Amino acid sequence: MFEVVIGLEVHVQLNTKSKLFCSCATSFNHKQNTNTCPTCLALPGALPVLNKEVLHKSIMLGTAIDATINKTSYFDRKSYFYPDSPSAYQVTQLYTPVVEHGKLQIDFDDGTNKVIRVNRAHIEADAGKNIHDGDISKVDLNRAGTPLLEIVSEPDMSSAEEAILYLKKLHSIIRYLDIGDANMQEGSFRVDVNVSIRPKGDEKLYTRVEIKNINSFKFIEKAIELEVSRQSEAWEDGLYEEEICQETRLFDQVKNETRSMRGKEEAADYRYFPEPDLLKAVVTDEMLEKYSKIPELPDEKRDRLMKEYGLNVYNAGVITSSVETARFFETMMQEGISGKNATTWLTVELLARLKGDVNITNSPVDAKKLGFLVKRIEDKTISGKAAKEVLDYLMENDPDVDSVIEKLGLKQVTDTGALEKMCNEIISANQDKVEQFRAGKEKLFGFFVGQVMKKSKGSANPQVVNEILKEKLS
Ligand code: ADP
Ligand code: MG
Ligand code: ZN
């Protein structure tokens, strides 16, 4: 009887070389406060200059979500005081953002989909970091002035599931475009979740609660579920007006609850006004032309892999959900193997062997090697079972596939002469069974195949053995 309403704000840190308004490096693992200058320290008299690379990446994102890219956009000041922001304001784009009116499609498991509207994506400067250390707090301004794109959805999602699908899709787009590393744990993809409920069928938007900075998809899902039950319980108890107010809440993963952090500021509290130190941001025709040529996106790649390699929609979705997996798969396919086998060996066999810090980007067995291993199954050099042994070996050691096959003695015997000899030996050693077979006991066929396989220590190609035995026994 309630409908859930969710709108998401995502802060994506752009992977530019230098900061938004100065030439300080954006790299992170540097000594505290070394990547700073008068501009990002907000010393009096220092003037900001816009980093063009930020516009380029904004155009790419705007193109990917089918949005309007404003040829002129403006910067505004949002005033607030916090120790990690020496200027006591944040430069952002309130009135005219660089990107507006986009959309993003989410796909459900049952094959249906839904389009989520994106209200805007605007450029803003990140703050520094407060580091709390016992009784003292320190401020590190290395991050101050790092470019962010804040991507704001319309309140179009109506369940935690839809919110997660939207976030995963957006995350994957950022990675495909390579405009940010979108690492949630490190804070380069930060999500604020706005949640409200309303009676089913009601068009009006009710009071929203904002839950800030939750750093994993799992916790976002959890936080939404907790917030929805808190709000609907309040409603059912007749306490909605009393208990639900527009505020910022915090998700506590230990206590498994959301709790109030502060009352929600109104825009007026921030005293927004046009940033006087910066020129308008201009997207030229040349820029637009150049940066709207974006790489293939996850959905397009999924559709192409289905068409080109005959993958089903599920597997194609698994492979294209991350750009690294997709690249790995496509490199494997250069060995001219079947899409189905490549999928199995990548998503079942290899992924199961990757543990801890080892993932697809630093896998000891790279895509070329795994592709080649699959090729050796397909050309019948080894059996699938033997290939698992080869893969186990390759996870620990570095030689090439063929020398491992040699070393472990796993080469399949396909030489008909040798196999024929083995078959003859088995047949003459089991004359009684041959007679029973010829008299109609057909299930004995498996016995003969098994004996030959055993004799060859598993190296015989079972298909060839089958053919030879069929001929000899009939
Ligand atoms: P603020 O910066 O104050 O959080 P924004 O306009 O940037 O405001 O973002 C508001 C976000 O909240 C948007 O994603 C919007 O879709 C969402 N939102 C607005 N009203 C509601 C509501 N009643 N329920 C859920 N989400 C909402
Ligand atoms: Mg907000
Ligand atoms: Zn600087």
Q: What is the pLDDT of residues 15-46, one digit of tens each?
A: 999 999 999 999 778 899 999 999 999 999 99
What pLDDT does 264 receive?
66
Which residues 6+ apart lie within 8 Å of 466 measured at CB? 449
What pLDDT does 87 receive?
95
DSSP strand pairing (72-73 vs 281-282):
antiparallel
Same domain as 429, residue 345: no
Is residue 213's pLDDT more than 90?
no
Is residue 74's pLDDT more than 90?
yes
Same domain as 160, residue 237: yes
> Which ligand lies nearest the alpha carbon of 192?
2
Q: What is the mean pLDDT of the chain?
A: 93
Is residue 305's pLDDT more than 80?
yes
Q: How confident is the model at residue 344 (pLDDT cuts 50, 70, 90)?
A: very high
Residue 137 tokens read as 């707090």
Spacing, Cα 328 to ligand 3 middle (Å): 38
Of 99-113, 202-216, 230-244, 250-264, the poorest mean pLDDT is in 250-264
Same domain as 371, residue 428: no
Query: What atom in ligand 1 is closest to the CA of residue 154?
Result: 16
Of 260, 275, 291, the residue at which a domain comes to its end is: 291
How far apart, in whole angstroms, are the C-alpha atoms of residue 19 and residue 49? Answer: 10
Same domain as 215, residue 342: no
Specify the residue with its C-alpha closest to ligand 1, atom 11.
7
- Which domain CATH number covers 465? 1.10.10.410
Same domain as 235, residue 314: no
Same domain as 384, residue 273: no
What pLDDT does 474 receive?
81
Q: What would the pLDDT profile of 307-337 be if each residue is shown by its tens digit?
A: 999 999 999 999 998 999 999 999 999 999 9
Specify the residue with its C-alpha closest to ligand 1, atom 5.
152
Q: What would the pLDDT profile of 364-403 be if each residue is shown by its tens digit?
A: 999 999 999 999 999 989 989 899 999 999 999 888 888 8
Task: Report, as an integer, the average pLDDT of 432-442.
Answer: 90
Q: How many separate helices (H) and strands (E) can be counted in the chain? A: 17, 16
Among 90, 170, 193, 194, which is best to mutate for testing ligand 1, by the most ligand atoms less than 8 A from CB? 194
Is the beta carbon of 196 within 6 A of some atom in ligand 1? yes
Cα–Cα distances in angstroms (integers) from residue 457 to residues 88, 323, 386, in the given order: 76, 41, 11
Residue 462 tokens read as 């079972």
What pLDDT does 176 receive?
96
What pLDDT does 98 receive?
98
Spacing, Cα 17 to ligand 3 middle (Å): 12
Spacing, Cα 29 to ligand 2 middle (Å): 28
Is residue 269's pLDDT more than 90?
no
3-state secondary structure of 382: coil
Spacing, Cα 194 to ligand 2 middle (Å): 7
Give the global pTM. Answer: 0.86
Same domain as 451, residue 309: no
Same domain as 158, residue 201: yes
Is residue 265's pLDDT more than 80?
no
Query: What atom in ligand 1 is closest to the CA of residue 9?
Result: 14
Of 291, 320, 353, the residue at which a domain comes to its end is: 291
Is residue 460's pLDDT more than 90?
no
For the chain, the domain total comes to 3
How far apart, in whole angstroms, are the C-alpha atoms of residue 256 and residue 224? Answer: 11
% the chain with pLDDT above 70: 99
DSSP strand pairing (89-92 vs 76-79):
antiparallel
Of 291, 317, 340, the residue at which a domain comes to its end is: 291
Among 166, 208, 212, which is best to mutate for testing ligand 1, by the most ligand atoms less than 8 A from CB? 208
Q: How confident is the model at residue 413 (pLDDT cuts 50, 70, 90)?
A: confident
Same domain as 331, residue 404: yes
Select the more confidently predicted residue: 458 or 249: 249
| Domain, as residue range, for 328 | 298-408
> Residue 12 CB: number of other CB atoms within 10 A?
24
Task: Report, as an integer, the average pLDDT of 346-350.
Answer: 95
Spacing, Cα 142 to ligand 1 middle (Å): 30
Same domain as 353, residue 259: no
Spacing, Cα 402 to ligand 2 middle (Å): 57
DSSP calls for 38-101: TTTTT-TT------HHHHHHHHHHHHHTT-EE-SEE--EEEE---TT-TTSEEEE-SSS-SEEE
Is the beta carbon of 208 within 6 A of some atom in ligand 1? yes
Task: Report, as an integer, the average pLDDT of 269-277.
Answer: 92
Query: What atom in ligand 1 is closest to the CA of residue 267?
Result: 3
> Which ligand lies nearest the alpha carbon of 97?
1
% the chain with pLDDT above 90: 74
What pLDDT does 86 receive?
94
Is the beta carbon of 153 within 6 A of some atom in ligand 1? yes
Cα angle for residues 156, 157, 158 (degrees, 5° grid): 120
Of 90-99, 119-128, 172-181, 393-402, the poorest mean pLDDT is in 393-402
Which residues 6+ apart lie within 8 Å of 105 measured at CB? 113, 114, 115, 116, 169, 299
Task: Report, as an integer, the average pLDDT of 84-112.
Answer: 95
Q: How confident is the model at residue 263 (pLDDT cuts 50, 70, 90)?
A: confident
Is residue 66's pLDDT more than 80?
yes
Specify the residue with its C-alpha closest to ligand 1, atom 14.
7
Query: What atom in ligand 1 is closest to the CA of residue 153?
Result: 14
Task: Report, as an integer, the average pLDDT of 75-100.
Answer: 96
How far apart, in whole angstroms, are the C-alpha atoms of residue 63 and residue 293? Answer: 8
Same domain as 16, residue 133: yes
Say if CB 58 and CB 123 are below 8 A apart. yes
Is the beta carbon of 191 within 6 A of some atom in ligand 1? no
What pLDDT does 463 receive?
83
Q: How confident is the model at residue 415 (pLDDT cuts 50, 70, 90)?
A: confident
Same domain as 268, residue 192: yes
